[in-house]
Protein backbone atom coordinates (compact mmCIF):
# COMPACT_ATOMS: atom_id res chain seq x y z
CA UNK A 1 0.00 0.00 0.00
CA UNK A 2 1.35 3.40 -0.88
CA UNK A 3 0.56 6.84 0.35
CA UNK A 4 1.96 10.00 -1.12
CA UNK A 5 4.38 12.10 0.87
CA UNK A 6 2.28 15.08 -0.07
CA UNK A 7 -0.79 13.51 1.55
CA UNK A 8 1.10 12.75 4.75
CA UNK A 9 2.54 16.23 4.86
CA UNK A 10 -0.88 17.78 4.37
CA UNK A 11 -2.38 15.54 7.01
CA UNK A 12 0.31 16.35 9.52
CA UNK A 13 -0.06 20.03 8.80
CA UNK A 14 -3.82 19.78 9.26
CA UNK A 15 -3.44 17.96 12.55
CA UNK A 16 -0.85 20.47 13.72
CA UNK A 17 -3.19 23.32 12.81
CA UNK A 18 -5.87 21.65 14.90
CA UNK A 19 -3.50 21.84 17.84
CA UNK A 20 -2.71 18.17 18.31
CA UNK A 21 0.94 17.65 19.12
CA UNK A 22 3.83 18.42 16.84
CA UNK A 23 3.86 16.96 13.35
CA UNK A 24 7.00 15.03 14.24
CA UNK A 25 5.17 13.27 17.08
CA UNK A 26 2.17 12.33 14.99
CA UNK A 27 1.21 8.68 15.15
CA UNK A 28 -0.50 7.07 12.18
CA UNK A 29 -3.97 5.77 12.99
CA UNK A 30 -5.84 3.08 11.10
CA UNK A 31 -9.09 1.16 11.26
CA UNK A 32 -8.47 -2.37 12.51
CA UNK A 33 -12.00 -3.49 13.33
CA UNK A 34 -15.50 -2.96 12.00
CA UNK A 35 -18.75 -4.38 13.34
CA UNK A 36 -22.46 -3.70 12.98
CA UNK A 37 -25.73 -4.63 14.64
CA UNK A 38 -29.20 -4.15 13.21
CA UNK A 39 -32.48 -5.41 14.63
CA UNK A 40 -33.98 -8.35 12.73
CA UNK A 41 -37.48 -6.83 12.38
CA UNK A 42 -38.18 -5.12 9.05
CA UNK A 43 -40.72 -2.34 8.59
CA UNK A 44 -41.61 -2.28 4.90
CA UNK A 45 -43.30 0.41 2.84
CA UNK A 46 -46.30 -1.91 2.62
CA UNK A 47 -46.44 -1.94 6.44
CA UNK A 48 -46.34 1.87 6.49
CA UNK A 49 -49.18 2.02 3.97
CA UNK A 50 -51.30 0.44 6.72
CA UNK A 51 -50.20 3.04 9.29
CA UNK A 52 -50.28 6.42 7.50
CA UNK A 53 -51.59 7.96 4.27
CA UNK A 54 -48.62 7.04 2.08
CA UNK A 55 -47.65 4.69 -0.74
CA UNK A 56 -44.70 2.52 -1.65
CA UNK A 57 -44.47 4.50 -4.89
CA UNK A 58 -44.19 7.87 -3.06
CA UNK A 59 -41.60 6.61 -0.58
CA UNK A 60 -39.42 4.91 -3.19
CA UNK A 61 -39.56 7.81 -5.63
CA UNK A 62 -38.95 10.55 -3.05
CA UNK A 63 -36.51 8.77 -0.74
CA UNK A 64 -35.29 5.49 -2.26
CA UNK A 65 -36.22 3.67 0.96
CA UNK A 66 -37.96 0.27 0.73
CA UNK A 67 -37.60 -1.00 4.29
CA UNK A 68 -35.94 -0.17 7.60
CA UNK A 69 -35.07 -2.14 10.76
CA UNK A 70 -36.95 -1.48 13.97
CA UNK A 71 -35.68 -2.47 17.43
CA UNK A 72 -37.90 -4.68 19.61
CA UNK A 73 -39.45 -2.82 22.58
CA UNK A 74 -36.97 -4.26 25.07
CA UNK A 75 -33.93 -3.30 22.95
CA UNK A 76 -32.32 0.09 23.58
CA UNK A 77 -29.52 1.97 21.84
CA UNK A 78 -26.84 0.58 24.19
CA UNK A 79 -27.87 -2.99 23.31
CA UNK A 80 -27.28 -2.40 19.60
CA UNK A 81 -24.10 -0.45 20.39
CA UNK A 82 -22.76 -3.27 22.56
CA UNK A 83 -23.43 -5.90 19.90
CA UNK A 84 -21.69 -3.79 17.24
CA UNK A 85 -18.80 -3.13 19.64
CA UNK A 86 -18.26 -6.84 20.31
CA UNK A 87 -18.27 -7.55 16.58
CA UNK A 88 -15.75 -4.77 15.89
CA UNK A 89 -13.39 -5.90 18.66
CA UNK A 90 -13.56 -9.49 17.42
CA UNK A 91 -12.85 -8.22 13.91
CA UNK A 92 -9.83 -6.32 15.21
CA UNK A 93 -8.59 -9.53 16.79
CA UNK A 94 -7.59 -7.92 20.08
CA UNK A 95 -8.69 -8.63 23.65
CA UNK A 96 -11.38 -6.25 24.92
CA UNK A 97 -8.92 -5.11 27.56
CA UNK A 98 -6.79 -3.44 24.85
CA UNK A 99 -9.45 -0.76 24.28
CA UNK A 100 -8.53 2.42 26.14
CA UNK A 101 -11.05 4.97 24.81
CA UNK A 102 -14.78 4.55 24.14
CA UNK A 103 -17.02 7.06 22.37
CA UNK A 104 -20.67 6.54 21.49
CA UNK A 105 -22.22 8.94 18.98
CA UNK A 106 -25.97 8.99 19.47
CA UNK A 107 -29.01 11.25 19.69
CA UNK A 108 -31.15 8.50 21.17
CA UNK A 109 -29.27 7.57 24.34
CA UNK A 110 -30.84 5.02 26.67
CA UNK A 111 -31.26 7.84 29.22
CA UNK A 112 -30.42 11.52 29.43
CA UNK A 113 -27.82 10.21 31.85
CA UNK A 114 -25.76 8.16 32.50
CA UNK A 115 -24.06 8.23 29.11
CA UNK A 116 -24.80 5.31 26.81
CA UNK A 117 -21.03 4.92 26.43
CA UNK A 118 -20.83 4.07 30.15
CA UNK A 119 -23.51 1.41 29.73
CA UNK A 120 -21.59 -0.09 26.81
CA UNK A 121 -18.39 0.07 28.84
CA UNK A 122 -20.04 -1.86 31.67
CA UNK A 123 -21.40 -4.38 29.18
CA UNK A 124 -17.92 -4.95 27.78
CA UNK A 125 -16.44 -5.27 31.27
CA UNK A 126 -13.98 -2.42 30.76
CA UNK A 127 -14.04 -0.33 33.92
CA UNK A 128 -11.66 2.59 34.17
CA UNK A 129 -11.24 3.79 30.61
CA UNK A 130 -12.78 7.11 29.54
CA UNK A 131 -16.24 6.67 28.02
CA UNK A 132 -18.54 9.42 26.79
CA UNK A 133 -21.41 10.20 24.44
CA UNK A 134 -21.20 12.62 21.55
CA UNK A 135 -24.27 14.36 20.15
CA UNK A 136 -23.94 15.41 16.52
CA UNK A 137 -26.92 13.66 14.91
CA UNK A 138 -26.16 11.89 11.67
CA UNK A 139 -22.68 13.46 11.64
CA UNK A 140 -22.00 11.76 14.98
CA UNK A 141 -19.83 8.94 13.70
CA UNK A 142 -17.62 11.33 11.70
CA UNK A 143 -17.31 13.60 14.75
CA UNK A 144 -16.44 10.67 17.02
CA UNK A 145 -13.89 9.28 14.57
CA UNK A 146 -12.28 12.72 14.40
CA UNK A 147 -12.03 12.93 18.18
CA UNK A 148 -10.63 9.42 18.56
CA UNK A 149 -8.18 9.96 15.70
CA UNK A 150 -6.76 13.08 17.32
CA UNK A 151 -6.47 11.37 20.71
CA UNK A 152 -4.63 8.44 19.18
CA UNK A 153 -2.47 10.55 16.86
CA UNK A 154 -1.32 12.59 19.82
CA UNK A 155 -0.27 9.42 21.59
CA UNK A 156 -2.83 9.61 24.40
CA UNK A 157 -4.52 6.28 23.54
CA UNK A 158 -3.66 3.05 21.77
CA UNK A 159 -6.98 1.49 20.68
CA UNK A 160 -10.21 3.48 20.50
CA UNK A 161 -13.68 2.03 20.15
CA UNK A 162 -15.92 4.41 18.23
CA UNK A 163 -19.62 3.58 17.96
CA UNK A 164 -22.48 5.23 16.10
CA UNK A 165 -25.80 3.93 17.39
CA UNK A 166 -29.39 5.15 17.23
CA UNK A 167 -32.91 3.88 17.74
CA UNK A 168 -34.71 6.71 16.01
CA UNK A 169 -37.89 4.63 15.91
CA UNK A 170 -38.31 5.64 19.57
CA UNK A 171 -38.67 9.32 18.66
CA UNK A 172 -40.47 9.03 15.33
CA UNK A 173 -44.17 9.86 15.21
CA UNK A 174 -45.65 6.94 13.33
CA UNK A 175 -48.81 8.94 12.71
CA UNK A 176 -46.88 11.65 10.80
CA UNK A 177 -46.25 10.54 7.21
CA UNK A 178 -43.64 13.26 6.64
CA UNK A 179 -41.17 11.60 9.02
CA UNK A 180 -42.52 8.08 9.71
CA UNK A 181 -41.15 6.67 6.46
CA UNK A 182 -37.58 7.95 6.77
CA UNK A 183 -35.85 6.43 9.78
CA UNK A 184 -34.58 3.09 11.08
CA UNK A 185 -32.49 1.63 13.92
CA UNK A 186 -28.94 0.28 13.97
CA UNK A 187 -25.39 0.51 15.27
CA UNK A 188 -21.90 0.42 13.78
CA UNK A 189 -18.56 0.29 15.59
CA UNK A 190 -14.96 0.83 14.53
CA UNK A 191 -11.74 0.05 16.33
CA UNK A 192 -9.01 2.60 15.62
CA UNK A 193 -5.41 1.63 16.33
CA UNK A 194 -2.42 3.86 16.90
CA UNK A 195 0.57 2.72 14.88
CA UNK A 196 4.19 3.70 15.19
CA UNK A 197 5.63 6.74 13.40
CA UNK A 198 6.65 5.71 9.90
CA UNK A 199 3.93 3.09 9.50
CA UNK A 200 1.18 3.53 6.92
CA UNK A 201 -1.58 5.91 7.94
CA UNK A 202 -5.23 4.91 7.62
CA UNK A 203 -6.96 8.14 8.54
CA UNK A 204 -5.59 11.01 6.46
CA UNK A 205 -7.80 14.00 7.20
CA UNK A 206 -11.05 15.15 8.76
CA UNK A 207 -13.36 18.06 8.20
CA UNK A 208 -16.05 18.96 10.74
CA UNK A 209 -18.44 21.86 10.99
CA UNK A 210 -21.66 23.10 12.51
CA UNK A 211 -24.17 25.90 12.07
CA UNK A 212 -26.38 26.22 15.10
CA UNK A 213 -28.59 28.74 13.34
CA UNK A 214 -30.25 25.73 11.71
CA UNK A 215 -30.99 24.04 15.02
CA UNK A 216 -34.77 24.25 14.69
CA UNK A 217 -34.80 22.50 11.30
CA UNK A 218 -34.49 19.09 12.93
CA UNK A 219 -35.34 19.02 16.60
CA UNK A 220 -36.75 16.94 19.43
CA UNK A 221 -38.79 19.72 21.07
CA UNK A 222 -39.37 18.33 24.59
CA UNK A 223 -37.77 16.12 27.20
CA UNK A 224 -34.71 18.28 27.86
CA UNK A 225 -34.17 21.18 30.26
CA UNK A 226 -35.91 23.66 27.92
CA UNK A 227 -39.19 21.77 27.96
CA UNK A 228 -39.23 18.96 30.52
CA UNK A 229 -41.72 16.15 30.00
CA UNK A 230 -45.23 17.07 31.08
CA UNK A 231 -48.79 16.10 30.22
CA UNK A 232 -48.82 19.10 27.88
CA UNK A 233 -45.66 18.04 25.99
CA UNK A 234 -47.01 14.51 25.61
CA UNK A 235 -50.38 15.81 24.39
CA UNK A 236 -48.62 18.08 21.87
CA UNK A 237 -46.54 15.11 20.61
CA UNK A 238 -43.38 17.07 21.40
CA UNK A 239 -41.39 13.95 22.29
CA UNK A 240 -41.25 13.07 18.61
CA UNK A 241 -38.73 14.59 16.21
CA UNK A 242 -39.80 17.49 14.01
CA UNK A 243 -38.11 18.25 10.72
CA UNK A 244 -38.29 20.82 7.96
CA UNK A 245 -37.56 18.29 5.23
CA UNK A 246 -37.15 20.69 2.33
CA UNK A 247 -34.66 22.95 4.12
CA UNK A 248 -32.66 19.98 5.42
CA UNK A 249 -32.65 18.60 1.88
CA UNK A 250 -31.10 21.77 0.41
CA UNK A 251 -28.51 21.96 3.18
CA UNK A 252 -27.66 18.27 2.79
CA UNK A 253 -26.95 18.39 -0.93
CA UNK A 254 -24.72 21.43 -0.56
CA UNK A 255 -22.80 20.23 2.48
CA UNK A 256 -22.25 16.65 1.27
CA UNK A 257 -20.38 18.04 -1.71
CA UNK A 258 -18.59 20.82 0.15
CA UNK A 259 -17.40 18.80 3.14
CA UNK A 260 -16.20 15.97 0.90
CA UNK A 261 -14.25 18.41 -1.29
CA UNK A 262 -12.76 20.03 1.83
CA UNK A 263 -11.56 16.80 3.40
CA UNK A 264 -10.02 15.68 0.11
CA UNK A 265 -8.27 19.03 -0.35
CA UNK A 266 -6.81 18.82 3.18
CA UNK A 267 -4.90 15.72 2.11
CA UNK A 268 -4.06 17.01 -1.35
CA UNK A 269 -6.69 15.06 -3.29
CA UNK A 270 -9.67 15.80 -5.51
CA UNK A 271 -12.96 13.89 -6.00
CA UNK A 272 -11.49 12.09 -9.04
CA UNK A 273 -9.02 10.36 -6.67
CA UNK A 274 -11.77 8.83 -4.54
CA UNK A 275 -12.21 5.08 -4.77
CA UNK A 276 -15.28 4.98 -2.54
CA UNK A 277 -17.66 7.65 -1.31
CA UNK A 278 -19.68 6.63 1.74
CA UNK A 279 -22.28 9.34 2.32
CA UNK A 280 -24.86 9.53 5.09
CA UNK A 281 -27.84 7.45 3.98
CA UNK A 282 -30.83 9.76 4.35
CA UNK A 283 -32.36 9.96 0.90
CA UNK A 284 -31.26 8.55 -2.47
CA UNK A 285 -32.00 11.90 -4.12
CA UNK A 286 -29.57 13.67 -1.76
CA UNK A 287 -26.89 11.04 -2.44
CA UNK A 288 -27.46 11.21 -6.20
CA UNK A 289 -27.29 15.01 -6.27
CA UNK A 290 -24.04 15.00 -4.27
CA UNK A 291 -22.61 12.24 -6.46
CA UNK A 292 -23.28 14.28 -9.60
CA UNK A 293 -21.83 17.47 -8.10
CA UNK A 294 -18.68 15.55 -7.17
CA UNK A 295 -18.50 14.00 -10.63
CA UNK A 296 -18.37 10.44 -9.30
CA UNK A 297 -19.61 7.38 -11.20
CA UNK A 298 -22.29 5.31 -9.40
CA UNK A 299 -19.92 2.41 -8.78
CA UNK A 300 -17.81 4.61 -6.48
CA UNK A 301 -20.73 5.44 -4.18
CA UNK A 302 -22.13 3.21 -1.45
CA UNK A 303 -25.92 3.11 -1.16
CA UNK A 304 -27.93 1.02 1.30
CA UNK A 305 -30.64 3.52 2.22
CA UNK A 306 -33.11 1.28 0.39
CA UNK A 307 -32.76 -1.42 3.06
CA UNK A 308 -32.06 0.54 6.25
CA UNK A 309 -33.49 4.04 5.83
CA UNK A 310 -31.81 6.78 7.82
CA UNK A 311 -30.10 5.19 10.83
CA UNK A 312 -28.55 8.47 11.99
CA UNK A 313 -25.16 7.97 13.69
CA UNK A 314 -24.98 4.34 12.52
CA UNK A 315 -25.58 5.15 8.86
CA UNK A 316 -22.06 5.68 7.53
CA UNK A 317 -20.69 2.73 9.49
CA UNK A 318 -23.40 0.38 8.23
CA UNK A 319 -22.70 1.47 4.67
CA UNK A 320 -18.93 1.05 5.11
CA UNK A 321 -19.38 -2.44 6.57
CA UNK A 322 -21.62 -3.46 3.71
CA UNK A 323 -19.10 -2.17 1.18
CA UNK A 324 -16.45 -4.30 2.84
CA UNK A 325 -18.64 -7.40 2.92
CA UNK A 326 -19.19 -7.00 -0.79
CA UNK A 327 -15.47 -6.76 -1.50
CA UNK A 328 -15.62 -3.07 -2.46
CA UNK A 329 -12.88 -2.03 -0.01
CA UNK A 330 -9.61 -3.10 -1.52
CA UNK A 331 -6.44 -2.38 0.51
CA UNK A 332 -5.17 1.09 -0.29
CA UNK A 333 -8.57 2.36 -1.42
CA UNK A 334 -9.13 6.07 -0.79
CA UNK A 335 -12.43 6.35 1.07
CA UNK A 336 -14.44 9.40 2.16
CA UNK A 337 -17.09 9.09 4.87
CA UNK A 338 -19.38 12.14 4.94
CA UNK A 339 -22.29 12.87 7.25
CA UNK A 340 -24.73 15.70 7.89
CA UNK A 341 -27.41 16.09 10.48
CA UNK A 342 -29.16 17.92 13.24
CA UNK A 343 -27.35 20.88 14.72
CA UNK A 344 -26.88 21.52 11.92
CA UNK A 345 -23.67 19.56 11.73
CA UNK A 346 -21.48 17.98 9.09
CA UNK A 347 -18.35 15.90 9.11
CA UNK A 348 -16.04 14.01 6.76
CA UNK A 349 -13.27 11.51 7.36
CA UNK A 350 -10.79 10.62 4.63
CA UNK A 351 -8.98 7.33 4.99
CA UNK A 352 -6.91 4.73 3.22
CA UNK A 353 -8.39 1.32 3.79
CA UNK A 354 -5.61 -0.69 5.40
CA UNK A 355 -7.38 -3.67 6.89
CA UNK A 356 -7.26 -6.88 4.86
CA UNK A 357 -8.46 -9.69 7.16
CA UNK A 358 -12.18 -10.39 6.80
CA UNK A 359 -12.41 -8.04 3.84
CA UNK A 360 -14.77 -9.30 1.18
CA UNK A 361 -15.99 -12.72 0.27
CA UNK A 362 -18.45 -12.92 3.16
CA UNK A 363 -21.47 -12.51 0.94
N1 LIG B 1 -46.33 9.86 1.68
C2 LIG B 1 -47.07 10.56 0.82
N3 LIG B 1 -47.01 11.91 0.72
C4 LIG B 1 -46.15 12.55 1.52
C5 LIG B 1 -45.33 11.88 2.44
C6 LIG B 1 -45.45 10.48 2.51
N7 LIG B 1 -44.72 9.71 3.36
N8 LIG B 1 -44.59 12.79 3.10
C9 LIG B 1 -44.89 13.99 2.61
N10 LIG B 1 -45.85 13.84 1.66
C11 LIG B 1 -46.49 14.89 0.85
C12 LIG B 1 -46.47 16.23 1.53
O13 LIG B 1 -47.56 16.35 2.41
C14 LIG B 1 -46.61 17.14 0.35
O15 LIG B 1 -47.97 17.19 -0.04
P16 LIG B 1 -48.65 18.59 -0.45
O17 LIG B 1 -47.89 19.05 -1.64
O18 LIG B 1 -50.04 18.18 -0.71
O19 LIG B 1 -48.46 19.47 0.75
C20 LIG B 1 -45.85 16.42 -0.77
O21 LIG B 1 -45.75 15.05 -0.35
C22 LIG B 1 -44.45 16.95 -1.00
O23 LIG B 1 -43.82 17.11 0.26
P24 LIG B 1 -42.35 17.64 0.38
O25 LIG B 1 -42.01 17.81 1.79
O26 LIG B 1 -42.17 18.78 -0.57
O27 LIG B 1 -41.56 16.37 -0.23
P28 LIG B 1 -40.04 16.27 -0.58
O29 LIG B 1 -39.89 15.90 -1.99
O30 LIG B 1 -39.24 17.45 -0.06
O31 LIG B 1 -39.59 14.98 0.26
C32 LIG B 1 -38.44 14.45 2.29
C33 LIG B 1 -39.71 15.03 1.67
C34 LIG B 1 -38.30 13.01 1.84
C35 LIG B 1 -38.54 14.52 3.79
C36 LIG B 1 -37.19 15.25 1.80
O37 LIG B 1 -37.45 16.63 1.95
C38 LIG B 1 -35.94 14.90 2.52
O39 LIG B 1 -35.41 13.81 2.38
N40 LIG B 1 -35.36 15.85 3.28
C41 LIG B 1 -34.10 15.63 3.99
C42 LIG B 1 -34.35 14.86 5.23
C43 LIG B 1 -33.07 14.43 5.91
O44 LIG B 1 -32.07 14.20 5.27
N45 LIG B 1 -33.12 14.29 7.21
C46 LIG B 1 -32.06 13.70 7.96
C47 LIG B 1 -31.19 14.65 8.66
S48 LIG B 1 -30.00 13.72 9.52
C49 LIG B 1 -30.24 13.61 11.23
O50 LIG B 1 -29.55 14.26 11.97
C51 LIG B 1 -31.29 12.65 11.76
Q: How remote is the CA of residue 308 from the centroid of ligand 1, in Å?
A: 17
Q: How confident is the model at residue 15 (pLDDT cuts 50, 70, 90)?
A: very low
309: part of which helix (H) or strand (E)?
Answer: none
pLDDT surpasses 60 at 13: no
From ligand 1's centre to the CA of 170, what distance in Å? Answer: 20
Q: How confident is the model at residue 201 (pLDDT cuts 50, 70, 90)?
A: confident
Peptide bond into 344 cis (omega under 30): yes
Q: How confident is the model at residue 355 (pLDDT cuts 50, 70, 90)?
A: confident
Residues 6+ apart with CB under 8 A from 51: 174, 175, 180
- Residue 129 makes CB contacts below 8 A (sequence gap 6+) with 99, 100, 101, 102, 121
- What are the backbone dihedrals phi and psi of residue 65, each rounded to the nearest 5 degrees, phi first? -90, 135
Of 70-74, 194-198, 236-240, 324-328, which range is least confident?
Answer: 194-198
Given the residues 45, 138, 150, 193, the one annotated as active site? 138
**Ligand 1 binding site (Cβ under 6 Å of any ligand atom):** 54, 58-59, 62-63, 137-138, 177-178, 181, 218, 243, 245-246, 248-249, 252, 282-283, 286, 310, 312, 341-342
Known catalytic membership, residue 358: no
Q: Which of 193, 207, 280, 283 is catalytic?
A: 280
Q: What's the CATH code of the domain at 188?
A: 3.40.47.10
Residue-range definition of the domain harbouring residue 298: 1-363
Q: Which atom of ligand 1 is nearest to the CA of 181?
A: 7
pLDDT in tens, 98-127: 999 999 999 999 999 999 999 999 999 999
Q: Calculate what percentage of the chain has a pLDDT beyond 90.
A: 88
Question: For residue 356, what pLDDT band results from cuts at 50, 70 and 90?
Answer: low
Q: Determine the Cα–Cα distance for residues 201 and 349; give it in Å rounded to an integer.
A: 13
Mean pLDDT of the chain: 92
Residue 118 appears among annotated catalytic residues? no
Task: Give the distance (Å) from ligand 1 centre to CA of residue 68.
Answer: 17
Question: Residue 23 pLDDT more than 90?
Answer: no
Give the Cα separation of 143 and 163 in Å (integer). 11
Gap from CA of 363 to ligand 1 centroid (Å): 34
The answer to whether the beta carbons of residues 116 and 173 sit under 8 Å apart is no
pLDDT for residue 6 is more than 50: no
Domain count across the chain:
1
User: What's the whole-number mean pLDDT along residues 163-169?
Assistant: 98
pLDDT of residue 198: 82
DSSP assignment of 320-363: HHHHHHTT---TT-EEEEEEEETTTEEEEEEEE----TT-S---
Contact partners, residue 79, CB within 8 Å, separation at least 6: 71
Give me the mean pLDDT over the 139-153 stretch: 97
Is residue 138 part of the annotated active site? The answer reads yes
Closest atom, ligand 1, to C-alpha of 345: 50
Amino acid sequence: MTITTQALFETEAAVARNGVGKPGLLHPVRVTGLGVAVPPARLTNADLEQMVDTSDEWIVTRTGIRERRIAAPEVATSDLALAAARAAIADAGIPVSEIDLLIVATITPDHLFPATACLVQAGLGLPGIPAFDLSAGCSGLAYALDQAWHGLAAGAYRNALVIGADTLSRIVDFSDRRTAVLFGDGAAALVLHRGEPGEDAGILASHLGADGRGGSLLILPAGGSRKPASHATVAAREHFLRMNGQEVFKFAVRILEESTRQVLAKAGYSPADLDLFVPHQANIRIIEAARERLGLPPERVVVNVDRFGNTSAASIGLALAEARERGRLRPGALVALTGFGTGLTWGSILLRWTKTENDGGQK
